Chain A
């Protein structure tokens, strides 16, 4: 059996490895997505003070520390039996919306977008954010940098630090918002709305308006019919900060709707010997292997999955885009074409920008009442948010001194692990055939199958990111390397 190894894969957060095994005829026998790293946060956080967790777990990732900070502090609200005052919840969500805008902008312009905007067959040296700027214009590049700057400034004002915020406390937030800060954040939110609309325009023109890409988005290669999971409000509209976790089947029929505290009743994790990253699945359906369909417990929790579990979006411009999105796919719900995740991500960016504006102009946001008094310091607590890459769940159990006895973290990428492996295998099977030379652009299309999930392996295994050169090894059936392709970072 020949073996094609893409190691390490590029333009994702963290470090992973793809192995494609060919049979004697040169067809794909199977594909594995391996995560060879382990960090052990769940182990070394035992014995730590529960209230330190928002700042410790932030350090899992430099890209989405805000998601860990908030899932963590929501778990603490439960352990300490302290319901945050309305202003504290709004400040948390306001910070989170600023974060969503900047994080989704990073993915679209720097990580996922280059494949579409510059082109999947373009040389890697051009298929990056600089290539995007060259194509979309220097002004757009400036707008991306300004977007990141103003939102990280908002995060710093609200949370203390632009990366790794520190203001989360059980029962609230450590600092109220001043009027001057509120006004600056309002202005940032207005500019975010414009920027999100601009980005959707880029998508419409460069991706949806290009028949070749559109065919790729709509093709069966990037289609998977699995369950979808995401968080919704009381009217089943998307909510990224709080609500009930909702699950629908590949036809859109509701399987479950539950508070995060009940996640163990719904989700089980499968361990495979060849990777450190676990494979969660729905208990009610069971693990049937890496299979599509309603009979398989595999699910995804991505921006696309969140659209599929939502009845709509709670802000007006984003709702228009939501309707346009489903109309573009013939009114069918759910949409299972996974490359549409990039579009869904931009819809979320617009929703987050509008939501940020509505929170920044909420009269209650500048209230000085931002902390509730804890009633106890022990017990169990589960906190969850929708992280950019999927539902993020923190579970803690603390003893009578408020020291942790047990920690479990399920990060967004972890939920999508089985789906990612399936997408890679499917893309590889459709693109590599007997006798066809494995070309760089083709390998990149296989990588596109995982990049659409915006995987963060740092979070999923709680593993550090590495450098990102790409090396491809092709082995014959006896294991000898017969060809090595390499591109530098």
Chain B
């Protein structure tokens, strides 16, 4: 859905996530880069990026992208690329995992966030009747 969204992406990385009531996002730049879980990067377009136009993150209601079965996994993998875990030189796998856990500590309902409309499709396969 990002292709339809007028917000600017600056390649900024983030240290953690906010819930919607916690911040007042800038109206011009990418919501994900401001720390809101915006599902736009894992969601089929067609709506015209309605929710980001009123400063609210995409919740994924149009379902997964073409060829993707698991919308939530796609979103989580995209989050991995914007998450800033700091300098990881000499850091053990466990320490890196702890930092990642801390970064997502602000999201207490991951299943409800990443799979709001798509859990059954992800579990059963989207081509089932």
Query: In residues 166-216 of chain A, which contact B (Cβ within 8 Å)?
Result: 166-167, 169-171, 174-175
Task: Give chain A residues whose Cβ lies under 8 Å from the Cβ of B112.
Answer: 47-49, 52
Q: Does B53 contact A (CB under 8 A)?
A: yes
Interface segment, one of A9-17, A154-162, A282-290, A463-471: A154-162
Count of chain B residues near A, Cβ 8 A: 17
Q: Please tell me which one of the listed residues A161, A171, A371 contacts residue B50 in the complex, with CB atoms under 8 A apart.
A: A161
**CB-based contact A167/B56 at 8 Å:** yes
Query: In residues 81-105 of chain B, which contact A (Cβ within 8 Å)?
Result: none
Task: Give chain B residues whose Cβ lies under 8 Å from the Cβ of A167.
Answer: 54-56
**CB-based contact A175/B55 at 8 Å:** yes
Given A51-B21, A80-B21, A161-B50: A174 touches B108 (CB 8 Å cut-off): no
Count of chain A residues near B, Cβ 8 A: 26
Q: Does B124 contact A (CB under 8 A)?
A: no
**CB-based contact A160/B53 at 8 Å:** yes
Query: In residues 50-68 of chain A, which contact B (Cβ within 8 Å)?
Result: 51-52, 55-56
Task: Give chain B residues whose Cβ lies under 8 Å from the Cβ of A169.
Answer: 20-21
**CB-based contact A51/B19 at 8 Å:** yes
Shortest beta-carbon distance from A70 to chain B in Å: 15
**CB-based contact A51/B20 at 8 Å:** yes
Task: Give chain A residues whose Cβ lies under 8 Å from the Cβ of B109.
Answer: 47-49, 52, 403
Shortest beta-carbon distance from B22 to chain A in Å: 8
**CB-based contact B51/A374 at 8 Å:** no
Given A169-B20, A371-B24: A49 touches B108 (CB 8 Å cut-off): yes
Q: Does B59 contact A (CB under 8 A)?
A: yes
Question: In the bound complex, what is the Cα–Cα distance between A202 and B124 (angstroms)?
Answer: 52
**CB-based contact A161/B51 at 8 Å:** yes
Shortest beta-carbon distance from A84 to chain B in Å: 12
Chain A window 63-100, contacts with chain B (Cβ cutoff 8 Å), 1 for yes, 0 for no: 00000000000000000101000000000000000000
Shortest beta-carbon distance from A47 to chain B in Å: 7
Chain A window 368-379, contacts with chain B (Cβ cutoff 8 Å), 1 for yes, 0 for no: 000100100100
Task: Give chain B residues whose Cβ lies under 8 Å from the Cβ of A48.
Answer: 109, 112
Q: Does B113 contact A (CB under 8 A)?
A: yes
Chain B window 97-125, contacts with chain A (Cβ cutoff 8 Å), 1 for yes, 0 for no: 00000000000110011001000000000
Shortest beta-carbon distance from A55 to chain B in Å: 6
Chain B window 13-50, contacts with chain A (Cβ cutoff 8 Å), 1 for yes, 0 for no: 00000011100100100000000000000000000001
Given A47-B109, A52-B112, A160-B53, 17 new contacts (CB under 8 A): A49-B112, A52-B59, A55-B59, A56-B116, A160-B51, A160-B54, A160-B56, A169-B20, A171-B21, A174-B20, A174-B54, A174-B55, A174-B56, A175-B55, A371-B24, A402-B108, A403-B108
